[in-house]
Structure 1
Amino acid sequence: MLTLLNLLSAVTLLIWGTHIVRTGILRVFGTQLRRALSHTMNKRPLAFVAGIGVTALVQSSNATALLVTSFAAQGLMALTPALAIMLGADVGTALMARVLTLDLSWLSPLLIFLGVIFFLSRKQTRAGQLGRVAIGLGLIILALELIVAAAAPITQAQGIKVLFASLTGDLLLDALVGALFALISYSSLAAVLLTATLAGASLISLPVAIGLVIGANIGSGVLALLSAGMQTAAGRRVALGSLLYKLIGLLLIIPVLHPLAQWMDGLKLSPQGLVISFHLLYNSLRCVLMLPTVRAMARFCTWLLPERAPLNDMSKARYLDPTALQLPGLALANAVRETLRIGDLIDAMLSNFLEVLRGGQPALSRELRRLDDEVDALYSAVKLYLARIDQESLSEREKRRWAEIIELAVNLEQAGDLIERMLCKVQDQKTAQRRDFSAHGLEELATLHVQLIANLHLGLAVFVYGDHESARQLLREKRRFRAQERRLAHAHVSRLHHQNLQSIETSSLHLELIAEMKRLNSLFCSSAYAVLEGHDTGALASGARDEASEGVPSSS
């Protein structure tokens, strides 16, 4: 029992080391990897080589699959180059398996020692993150040694011999077991290295080992497909195409399995070396042969997974891809796109509110409340998504962007609540008391409404592009709105002086709506402060005075 526990812990350490290397590489070179993979690669060989290189860096074809499916789902990459990258990722995994089977026992303690020193002393720097990668590489090498040591006593156990003796070279059965190895270890690389270790300990024959290796490849394809299950159709097509290529490889090798095993038995290599060499040869030949067919495979996958008509459910997040959380830059971009959708909902709420003021149908009120519920749902989704981003992996610029996104999302959610509160006041006045605004009063509210929507649009543009001149223009529009609000309030009081009955009946509501619109305008204009911070202290000071006079906390 203790021997089995040692083996399981060694395999777990191998998986953990691979995870540390992958996440460390993504934190240090995530932006560069995103740039390299997201550019459309018209030349398939270039995309193929990129897949090899990225997988060699992150130590996992599954990690590469997560990146590529995410980019495809976001529309940053076409399906054809994405499939070419996935073929290259399979070759990259085979190359890393070959490297990790070399005698690197001296390297493990050195990498762990240096990695811990750099990581603990410079945790927030690039050198510290590279130290983290070194720790992961050291753990991978150490785990491989522990697996070999733990597997040795197992070879003497009669029950284990009987268990592996049941694998007699039936390729389909062996491939199924290999796929289960990859699924359990969450890594085809770990499954292949474990298979090589078992072959080196004479627990399994070469034909069985070949079947397990092919199955490990298929298991990685199943993992990628499962991970892409929540993606758009574009992302799932990438994972589906990669899995189909692996299944085609299985079908192609069935007729030549036994002649191939006999030929490899004649080579002067250790059983472990034979398994690793087969893995490299098989993946290289399969992927090179399949590379010219990626365009046809892309068409086939598109036929199998066509685009579905989008559902008219605005409350469901569209861009908050969980697989992008390993790339903070991409995750922040996704959060920006989702926050802009909240802005679109607020725009629709304002339009409906104006129609309610003009005596619109009761259905408009129900629609406005439904939109507010969708705003709340999207706000919660954005907030939770941002909370899942690792703060330690963010640069100073990304931390500022993170704060800007959450601030705008909070402001828009508050704006939705304000609009719904305004609706309740209007309904109480017009429905319960049967009172309507005067023509002049309704015209004044409509005038402020036009300015309010214009400032919402400008505020969203400033948030997206961060243009200083647009931010200063937004603050000018904010002061213009305030001046207009004061003028209209004075005009309303003047109508009261002239004993306008409709104005008298709706006076309290009229002034309350103007005050609420002023608060809405402050929320919409808050994005200017983040852009101008440290660049235009004069504009910020003027804006801060406006905020203080309105009783709204300053965003600066």
Structure 2
Amino acid sequence: MSGTLSLVDLAGAVALLLWGTHMVQSGVQRTFGPRLRHVLGTALKSRARAFLAGMGVTAVLQSSTATGLMVAGFAAGGLVDLVPALAVMLGANVGSTLIVQALSFDVSALSPALILVGVVMFRRKGAERVHDLGRVAIGLGLMLLALHQLLGLMAPYEDAPSLRLLLGAISTSPILDVLLAAAVTWAFHSSVAVVLVVMSFAANGVVPPEAAFALVLGANLGTAINPVLEAPAGDGPASRRLPVGNLVTRIIGTVIALAAIEPISRLMVGLQPDDARAVADFHTLFNVALALVFLPLLKPYAAFLRVLMPNRIDPADPSRPLYLDAAARETPVVALGGAAREALRLADVLESMLEGSRDVFQRWDRRVLAETGRLDDVLDSLNTAIKSYVTSLDGDVLADKDVRRLDEILTFAMNLEQAGDVVDRNLLSHAAKCIARGLAFSPEEGARIVGMMERLIRNLRTAASLFMTHDPRAARLLAEEKIAFRQIEEEATRAHLARLRAGRTDAAETSGLHLDLLRDLKQINSHIVAAAAYPVLVREGELLPSRILSAHATTDDAR
């Protein structure tokens, strides 16, 4: 019975550690997510900067896996090459060792204070950033608490004859040490916890330094296994390049370190007499050495991974470009025609998103909500492919009208992609909030929202036609839609204020949400107008630089 309770306690401590890590990651991503993605996106232009960015972001996120997922998203969208992505993972591995270095000191006394401060911040209303930072503080407190409990649970067993006998038996075989630590790390989903336990064993003489270093190698190997196993199989072999590449570098480093484990052990013990600190330092030095060896070799290594795991072409994949013919780049006029056809596919995808959003607000269907949200990834992928394709054309052979058409294609594609972002991040987010809280709009509000979405769909079809015909009359009609949307928003705002003045606080939340939706729909319409109408009106000289009456005109009128 006591053994069963001990296993439950151990599993509970591991679960608490994983949950604390999850809270830290989610809190940091909600607060600094766009900035972290910007840091990574900016740094991915060179190997050295990518390495440093991976190290820093991992230290903030407390997880090399979370960093890897962000980089995998860039790679899947075609925004980053495999070489800098692998450099980020090398940096992320070093960043995870910094977490071990920090937690190797006795900082468990900070746990109650972090949890207390985090709860106070988390419960504060009206401040989203403070709320999310409170989540981070709670997560850090839970991590420290879980690690303290984990080490406390292991302490009584460090002197157990059976455990000493088992560890003594495997200590004579470094390969068994590596396999055991890799299996435990894979099961725990945390190399930090395993390395800290190994440090505790080494400090108390349960395992000799040589065996402790082999166990650390196993922990480094085990933490790279889960991303490979959890990579989405439906995306084909190419989706596994990054996790497999990271795992292979760990395997190569582990094999080399095992071959020289005896001299390495003597050197580390000579440099650091404290066995626990020697384990933490070895963990860091192993990953630093791995980065120094592989950073100069990433280009041929990435080429090898591409040959080993080629792209799988799925004809049914909606995010796969259909008209961006690589051979047509030699004839820019033909290439621009293909890019224009591809840009029209963006209009089709955005129309599907608007139709899905309309259905969500009519039926409050979670399944439709999820399916509509996934279409934004298709928009992002197609937009990225179009931008990469047209910007790769030789500008020296393009005539003036070709350059103008290229700009029109980019303007059309980027505005529709931004409209899709508003649908995904705002409209669907509001819909999810309504479903979660059980909110419902009044019949008048619901009809207005659905009506505006229907109007947006018609405007989008007009924009797609205008993109091909360049008809000034259609451009004027589409541009006038901005006035109609602005008037609808102003009317709804006056109605909302009238309700508040009348003291109708019961509908204040849904009415405010209704206004947010109208603003979002107006913003989507603005992107649609800017995508197709404005380029035509600018060319015709019919677009004013500002809607504000100039001071000249005001003075003349006064006279």
Say whether the fold is shared (TM-score over 0.5): yes
Q: Does the Cα contact within 8 Å between 2:351 and 2:460 map onto a contact in 1? A: no
Inter-partner Cα distance in structure 1 for 2:461 and 2:290: 55
Match of residue 298 from structure 2? 294
Tell me if structure 1 keeps the 8 A contact 2:227–2:243: yes
Q: Deviations over 1:343-385 (max 9, x none)?
A: 25989xxxxxxxxxxxxxxxxxxxxxxxxxxxx9x96762475
Letter in 2 for 1:256: A
State the shift of 1:97 in Å. 0.4
Give the superposition deviation at 1:102: 1.2
Partners of 1:73 and 1:234 within 8 A in 2: no
Deviation of 1:234 after TM superposition, in Å, equals 4.6
Q: Which deviations, in whole Å up to 9, do the C-alpha atoms of 1:168-225 show, x marking residues without a partner?
A: 2423322222221221111222222232233334333322221221122122222222
Shift, 1:160, TM fit: 2.5
| Offset at residue 293 of structure 1 (A) | 0.9
CA distance 1:12–1:205, change in 2 (3 Å): farther
Aligned counterpart, 2:371: 382
Q: How does 1:305-384 map to 2 (within 5 A)?
A: 305-308=309-312, 310-313=313-316, 343=348, 382-383=371-372
| Residue of structure 1 in register with 2:166 after alignment | 163
User: CA shift at 1:236, angstroms?
Assistant: 2.0
Larger RCO: 1 or 2 (CA < 8 Å, sep 6+): 1
Amino acid at match of 1:117: V
TM-score (norm: length of structure 1): 0.60
For 1:472 and 1:181, the matched residues in 2 are separated by 66
CA 1:81–1:262: 2 relative to 1, 3 Å = same
1:63 is displaced (CA, Å) by 1.3
Query: Match for residue 8 of structure 1?
Result: 11
**Does structure 1 retain, via aligned residues, the 8 Å contact 2:459–2:478?**
no
Q: Residue 199 of structure 1 contacts residue 272 of structure 1 at CA under 8 Å; is this kept in 2?
A: yes
State the shift of 1:273 in Å.
Answer: 1.5
Q: Percent identity?
A: 34
Post-superposition offset of 1:51: 0.8
Map of 1:328-477 to 2, 5 A cutoff? 343=348, 382-383=371-372, 401-404=424-427, 456=461, 458=463, 473=478
Q: Give 2:28's aligned amino acid.
A: I
Q: How many angstroms apart in 2 are the aligned matches of 1:76 and 1:187?
A: 29
Separation of aligned partners in 1, 2:52 and 2:211: 31
Is structure 2 residue 41 aligned with structure 1 residue 38?
yes
Q: Which moved more, 1:174-183 or 1:230-239?
A: 230-239
Residue aligning to 1:180: 183
After TM superposition, the structure 1 = structure 2 runs for residues 21-32 of structure 1, keeping only pairs within 5 Å, are 21-32=24-35
Secondary structure at 1:82's aligned position in 2?
Answer: helix
Aligned-pair CA distance for 1:144: 2.1
Q: Which residue of 2 aligns with 1:129?
A: 132
Go from structure 1 to structure 2 and tell me whether the alpha carbon gap of 1:114 and 1:532 turns closer, same or farther (over 3 Å shift). Answer: closer
Contact 1:39–1:76 (Cα < 8 Å) also in 2: no
Assess if the C-alpha contact under 8 Å between 1:169 and 1:207 holds in 2: no
SS state at 1:145 partner: helix
CA distances 1:98-152 after superposition (whole Å, capped 9, x unpaired): 0111121332222111111011114751011111111111122222222222111
1:99 aligns with 2:102: yes
Structure 1 gaps of 5+ residues are 320-336, 348-375, 388-396, 409-451, 463-468, 480-525, 536-556
Matches of residues 239-258 of structure 1 in structure 2 within 5 Å?
Answer: 239-258=243-262
State the alpha-carbon separation in 2 of the partners of residues 455 and 528 from structure 1. 17
Q: How far apart are residue 86 of structure 1 and its match?
A: 0.6
Say whether residues 1:209 and 2:209 are aligned partners.
Answer: no
Distance 1:344 1:154 in 2: 60
CA contact (8 A) 1:44 1:291 kept: yes
Amino acid at match of 1:275: V
Let me know the Cα RMSD of the aligned residues.
Answer: 4.1
* Alignment TM-score, normalising by the size of structure 2: 0.60
CA distance in 1, matches of 2:211, 2:145: 26
| Alignment-mate amino acid for residue 161 of structure 1 | R
Structure 2: gaps spanning 5 or more residues: 322-341, 353-364, 377-419, 432-456, 468-473, 485-516, 527-559
Show CA shifts across 1:249-277 (max 9, x none). 01221221012123333445333222111
Instruction: Provide the residue aligned with 2:287 in structure 1.
Output: 283
Please give the secondary structure, in 1, of the residue aligned with 2:35.
Answer: helix
Structure 2 distance, partners of 1:129, 1:399, is: 22
Deviation per residue, 1:141-166 (Å, 9 max, x gap): 22222222211111233332333233
Distance 1:406 1:112 in 2: 29
Equivalents in 2 of 1:92, 1:105: separation in Å? 21
Aligned CA distance change for structure 1 residues 527 and 109 (closer, same or farther; 3 Å): closer
User: Match for residue 89 of structure 2?
Assistant: 86
Of the candidates 33, 57, 66, which is equivalent to residue 54 of structure 1? 57
d(CA) in 2 for partners of 1:346, 1:17: 40
Q: Which protein is bigger by CA-based radius of gyration?
A: 1
2:179 alignment partner AA: L
8 Å CA contact 1:71, 1:235 repeated in 2 = no
Q: What is the identity, as a one-letter code, of the residue corresponding to 2:77? A: Q
Mapped partners of 2:187, 2:105: distance in 1: 25
Give the aligned residue type for 1:92: G
Q: In structure 2, how many angstroms separate the alpha carbons of the residues matched to 1:156 and 1:140?
A: 26
Name the SS for the 1:106 alignment partner.
helix
- Please say if residues 3 and 153 of structure 1, whose CA atoms lie closer than 8 Å, have aligned partners that are also in contact: no
Q: Name the SS of the counterpart of 1:42 in structure 2.
A: coil
1:413 is matched with which residue? none
- Does the CA-based 8 Å contact 1:404-1:527 persist in structure 2? no
| Letter aligned with residue 92 of structure 2 | A
Alpha-carbon separation, structure 1, partners of 2:91 and 2:214: 21
- Asked whether 1:531 is paired with 2:525, we answer no
1:203–1:29 Cα change, 3 Å: same
CA contact (8 A) 1:22 1:58 kept: yes
- Work out the CA distance in 2 between the residues paired with 1:218 and 1:102: 24
Aligned residues of 1:241 and 1:301 also touching (Cα < 8 A): yes
> Aligned partners of 2:81 and 2:253: how far apart in 1?
24
CA contact (8 A) 1:42 1:81 kept: yes
- Letter paired with 1:245: T
